[in-house]
Amino acid sequence: MQPAFSVIFLTVLIGAGQGLFLALFACELSGFGTGQGERLALAQGGGLAILLSALGLVASFFHLGRPERAWRAAAMWRTSWLSREVIVLPMFMAICAGWALAHAAGWAGTRLIGVLAVVVCLALFVCTAMIYASLKFLQEWASKLTLLNYLLIGTASGTTLAAAFASFTAPRLVPALALAACLLTLVALAGRAASLVRNARLKPRSTIQSAIGVRNPVVRQRSQGFMGGSYNTREFFHGRSAQALRSIKWFFLAAGFVLPAVLLASLDPTRGVLLLSVVVQFAGLIAERWFFFAQANHPQNLYYQAVS
């Protein structure tokens, strides 16, 4: 598939926002947030989670041919995971805003609001991942590992961001958050590696021979039927070489998982190390999401594999 950067930024940003909220709420459940300064820190963190989600939502508009009709994306909520994501994302932002506001104002009941936000947050992970996992004809996506990896990568990147954020607002939380981010990043690495191993073993369900009913083992396409490119040749294939894909794969494994885990492994990482972990991990996860989309091999490429 041809990766769309608008969708790449959408999924990376909202995943980090969700993970950041989950990390902050875990801090609240552990007893953090009793003093005014601590409550203000949680409110600011909630605001950052909302900002990331909002930036992802804005990025998604660049993927629309007619942005003024974006509201129609929610119309098929009974059958479409995309429509459900369009509905659940603003719900998560609204409830998270209520949680942050309650902390800023010193209101009671923040944990109850937080539990509701957690439920909606997990539902958003499911909706986003199922947009791709439900496409049975794309074998690379049609796996339970897709849902698992969206959840793990989002929580890992969000917790890394939470550790960096805590270095400014609540230093005593840094060791615990850095350790949690390191462990989550390693678990996310294991999940992503499992999906890479699985996809490497996939066998195409269709071949040129099965498509045209010819059993001869030597069948080659010389032309797709016309002399130039088309929507099909642009949107359903990334155009990169196998060597380029391998390079991107090793880059995202290193930058998205291995290097952040190494940087976070210190029991008391400095603010500079934490900020570097965030930057490196975000760069790696953008590459990871690009690879996720590019690796999916649309069956139509059996026909549209040669321009002329």
Most confident of 47-61, 196-210, 214-228: 47-61
Token pair 């996860």: residue: 285
Kindly indicate the confidence band of residue 206, based on its pLDDT and cuts at 50, 70 and 90: confident
The closest alpha carbon to 53, from 193, 202, 184, 161, belongs to 161
The predicted pLDDT at position 106 comes to: 92
The pLDDT of residue 273: 96
Residue 112: pLDDT band (50, 70, 90) is very high
Q: Average pLDDT in the 267-278 region?
A: 92
Can you give the pLDDT at residue 229?
Answer: 63
pLDDT of residue 305: 60
Q: Which residue has the higher pLDDT, 158 or 60?
A: 158
Instruction: Give the per-residue pLDDT at 67.
Output: 67
Q: Tell me the mean pLDDT in the region 164-171.
A: 95
Residues 185, 17: Cα–Cα separation, whole Å: 16
pLDDT one-digit tens code per residue, 118-156: 999 999 999 999 999 999 988 999 999 999 999 999 999
pLDDT, residue 4, reads 84
Rg (CA), the chain: 22
Is the pLDDT at 308 greater than 50? The verdict is no
First to last CA, the chain: 20
Judged against a pLDDT cut of 60, whether residue 290 lies above it is answered with: yes
Structure tokens at 86: 């369009």
CATH number of 5-302: 1.20.1630.10
Stronger pLDDT, 33 or 198, i.e. the higher one: 198
Would you list the domain boundaries of the chain? 5-302
Instruction: Look up residue 100 and give its two tokens.
Output: 């942050």
